[in-house]
Structures are given as structure tokens and as C-alpha cells.
Amino acid sequence: MDKLKLYTNSNFQALRGQGDLLADEAVKSLVAKPEWIEIINSWEEIPEEIPEIFDSSVQKYFNFFNSSTDHYDLEVLKKGQLFFEKKGDSYLGMLGFYSLPYCYAFADGAEVLVRSNRIVNQIGERLGETAVFLMDIFAPGAFYEDKKAILTCAKVRLIHAFSRYFVEAYAKDWDPKFGKPVNQEDMLGTNLAFSYIVLRGLIKMGRRIDREESEAILAYWKWIGYLIGLETKNWPNTAREAIEVDRLIRKRQLRASTAGQQLIQALITYYKKSIPEPLLTERVEDILYFFLGKEASDALGIVPKNQLEGGILGLIFQYSGWKSYGGKKSYASIRRMMEQQQKEQFGKVMKIQLPARNRP
């Protein structure tokens, strides 16, 4: 079947009503048994034998991840990790200056994000956790040698399910027209922002990304999507398919919203206070406008002071990377720098943790 036939307004509208049954059932049990959350947060990796104290829904959830290692493609994993080894600093830069702001421009999805006080009021910690997620899933040997990445994906999937649970249970201002919180269309769009949109940002700055690299990253994020609850039948395998998915979601969801504008202003304020490179902090709005383009920037209320050229911006990012790593850039050096910055800013290295709940 031609995958492009799936990319229709009616199909994607149906996706807005779909969540993630496996994770949603597990979260119901975890809400009722908050002590189980403490056990999970204490793990370094998912145990081969899931503790019998958990009920069937939680055991079924983690057994999915223990059996997932039968389904990975070793070549896909190695290609994706090699790409990150070479371009990891730029990848993280695109995440902060393009991927996340791009998500904020999609109005209905932004309604979930803005209801998390941590994203608005503790944005540094939230960004730090997102960076840890990226570093975990792209670690050399992740999934086939280092099983920590599997636990990371399991936790992220549950965090999404917690968001669905608490918005639906307690957000009295939630409008059904927004769709189910963290629904399949929004998850698809977010996965696309963390993969295809990153590649598009690199190309905008003049970096060469060939077809093999593009398809390798899309294949990598298909695997990540499978782990975190995405219906992968809708996932694009080629750049052409990615373009069509992005075009459809933009048409359906990109519009101005108070939620999106609140999120982007919190992000801009944080960047201006925390990024140590003046070449970047003095041009935050200009950089965001360059990557997002006029339509998304207008939706977010971003007004640039100056127009930037891709080649110049590419040099700024390269210079920033050279200042940080010199000629010794690698996954290890990027992770070391990230952890050092987090210790200086937060007094600790951020971790992906399930939200602690008080016992009833």
C-alpha cells in the first residue's frame, strides 16, 4: 500500500482520539499504587523478571519492553548512533531552536504542554530532561548493548500516559475539540519534529544531509516511536513521505494560540538568561524566525530584529561547537559537557523520572 494514501484529513482526525492503551492501563494502576512508581524510579534498567508485586497491567507493560529487543534492526541502530556521534551538538541545537518551538506552533498540542507547570515555570529542568532523553537513546550501543535506553523510553511513554490521565481527570478547562491529550497525531508530529525537522534545520544552515542519512534517522525514530507508543504504520520511511506528513499536520494544526505564545515566551526568556554564548543569546528571536519561517513565527508572535542567512548561522553554530569541544567532539564529550552544565545550573544531572505521587 502506498503510505501516502494514509495521509488524509479524515485519518489524522481519527488519530486525535487515540491514545496508547498499553501505557494508559498501566498508569491507572500506578496512580492507585504510588509506591510502585518509587520502585520503577529506582531501576537502572528494566529487570528481566518483572516484580510479582505489580499487577497484570504493569507487568504486561514492562514485558513489552523486555521482548522489544527481538525486533530491533542492528544496522538501523548503528547508523543512527553514528550520525549522532558526528553531529550530536548540532542535533541538540536544532532540538532547542527548531524542534521544540515548532511543536509550540501547533495549537491543540500546545494546550497539553501549557498545562504542565514544569514546562512553563521549570523550563530549564524540562529541557535538561529532554536532552538526557536524546543522549540516552543515541548512546553508542543503546538498545542492543546498553539497556538503559529501553528504560528511558518506557518512562517517557508512561509520562505521556500520566499527562493524558491527569488532564482528562482534572483539567476542567480541557476542550474536547483539542482531541485526546498526547494523542497519536500529536505524538507523530513530535516524533517528526525530533527527526525530520532536525534534518531540515541542518540543511537550512547549509549542512549536507544525503538520502542515506535522512532515511537512517527516520528509521531510527520509527524504532523509538514503536517503543514510546506510536502507531508506526503512519510513520514516514522517506523524505518525501516526511514532507507530506509535515504538510498535512501543519495544515491541520498550525495556528496562533495563547498556549503556544506562552510557551515560546518562556523559552525565549530562559535562553536569554542561560545560554553562555552571546552570539546566540543576542539573536534568539532572529534564530527562531529563521528556522520556523514566517507562518509558524507569526503564530507564536515572534518578531525578528534582523534577517539571518543560513550560512552565517551555520558558522555561528560551528564556532559555538568549536569553543566547547575543539577538535575532540564526540558523543562522550557532548554528554560530559551537558552533565557539567546541568550540575552548574541545577546542582545535579537531570534524570528521566516518573512523577512521584503521594500515597492515598
CB 191, CB 226: distance < 8 Å: no
In this prediction, residue 1 carries a pLDDT of 52
In this prediction, residue 292 carries a pLDDT of 97
pTM: 0.94
Amino acid at the residue 92: L
The span from the CA of 308 to the CA of 35, in Å, is 51
Residue 360 has pLDDT above 70, yes or no: no
Model confidence at 118, pLDDT cuts 50, 70, 90, reads low
Model confidence at 316, pLDDT cuts 50, 70, 90, reads confident
- % of the chain residues with pLDDT over 70: 95
Q: What are phi and psi of 146, to 5 degrees?
A: -95, 110
In this prediction, residue 39 carries a pLDDT of 97
Among left, alpha and beta (phi > 0; psi -120 to 50; other), residue 301 is: left
DSSP 3-state percent helix, strand, coil across the chain (nearest 5): 70, 0, 30
In this prediction, residue 119 carries a pLDDT of 64
Mean pLDDT of the chain: 92
The span from the CA of 128 to the CA of 178, in Å, is 28
CB 118, CB 126: distance < 8 Å: yes
Q: pLDDT tens digit string along 44-57?
A: 999 999 999 999 99
Residue 268 has pLDDT above 90, yes or no: yes
Half-sphere exposure for 24 (CA within 13 Å, toward CB): 15
**What cell was used for 295?**
507562518
Residue 359 has pLDDT above 60, yes or no: no
Model confidence at 3, pLDDT cuts 50, 70, 90, reads confident
DSSP 356: P
Going by C-beta distance under 8 Å and a sequence separation of 6 or more, which residues neighbour residue 250? 295
H helices present in 275-309, as ranges: 278-281, 284-300
In this prediction, residue 172 carries a pLDDT of 87
Q: pLDDT tens digit string along 53-83?
A: 999 999 999 999 999 988 899 999 999 999 9
Q: What is the mean pLDDT of residues 231-246?
A: 96
The residue assigned the cell 483539542 is 178
Q: What are residue 106's DSSP bridge partners?
A: 254
Q: pLDDT tens digit string along 176-207?
A: 999 999 999 999 999 999 999 999 999 999 99
The span from the CA of 331 to the CA of 138, in Å, is 9
In this prediction, residue 120 carries a pLDDT of 64
In this prediction, residue 29 carries a pLDDT of 97
Going by C-beta distance under 8 Å and a sequence separation of 6 or more, which residues neighbour residue 47? none
Residue 132 has pLDDT above 50, yes or no: yes
In this prediction, residue 343 carries a pLDDT of 94
